[in-house]
Amino acid sequence: MSGLRDWALLVLGVAVLAALPMVADNYTLRLGTVFCMYAALALSWNVIGGFAGYPSFATAAFFGLGAYTCAILQSAGWPMLPALAAGGALAGLFAAAVGGAILHLRGHYFAIASLALAEVLRELATKLEWLTGGGMGLNLPVPAMELHAQAAFFLHLMLGVAALAGAATLLLRGSRLGFALRCIQQNEDAAGMLGVDTRRAKTLAFAISAIFPGLAGGAYASWTHYIEPPDVFDVLLSVKPLVMVLLGGLGTVFGPVVGAGLLLLFEEAVWRSFLTLHAAVLGVIIVVLVLFLPNGLMDATRRLLGRRGRGAA
């Protein structure tokens, strides 16, 4: 029953956001697009970080790889959607390839190794000027649309990526792979002794967690019409998904989506005035969440409401 309810919530949320262009201005549509991008990144990180318990900081690597793949292919004459799909596929293949080299590491060793992936790709994007434009970046063609129609199109494009990430999360939760990942998160050594192919499960999870950031990166590149290495390989793209999942709840289905909304609200309300302290504020949030709300705000709210209900009874 809860599975049907979760699918209904996903469909309802997608329908509400899809209808937003009929009632909202361009600024609101921009916020909706950023929210969908954040939700896609958080849901993707939750696959490897929440379900499997591997703290990945590779999201920026996958996002940037998808962005540059999509931008290069569009510059070569590819239509937007096939170029976008190629960016997601290449990000997934890249994650599967490097996963074999770094997924034997655990804890902070894995976190550091995954963080290095974005730095390596950023340096490559900067040096390969003949392909990527180097530090000058790449310009993408601007769609021949009226401004509001263009804003609506990119909202729907990013919403499609987020919806796919949400559907993948729901399917994964009830699958054999999802069960294997939860076993790995609880006790990887015991899972291996019980017959779980931990290497295969982790590699699949890492690849899945890369596909949607790759798609989001391609959608972002098409939306902004210009990308450069410091922008799409920004380390904050690896930190923000962690914050969003911690806000909503590790290993939950809709917690990352709630966290994405909360982080976006916080950015709009507070960070405009403290742009130079952006990374420091994120660090403080992570420490507070780990120390005081390790299971996220949704879990804390449920426990608080449960205590009030028992008190009233």
List, for residues 28-74, the tens digit of each pLDDT value.
999 999 999 999 999 999 999 999 999 999 999 999 999 999 999 99
φ and ψ at 146, to 5 degrees?
A: -65, 155
The CATH number linked to 71 is 1.10.3470
User: Which of the residue ranges 48-52, 54-58, 205-209, 303-307 would you say has the lowest mean pLDDT?
Assistant: 303-307
Stated pTM of the model: 0.91
Count of domains in the chain? 1
**3-state SS assignment for residue 139:** strand
pLDDT value for 83: 97
Which DSSP helix (H) or strand (E) runs through 138? strand 138-139
Range of the domain at 78: 2-312
Long-range contacts of range 122-129, CB-CB < 8 Å, 24 or more positions apart?
A: 122/64, 122/229, 122/230, 122/233, 125/64, 125/68, 125/229, 125/233, 126/229
pLDDT computed for residue 272 by the predictor: 64
Please provide the average confidence, as pLDDT, over all residues in the chain.
Answer: 90
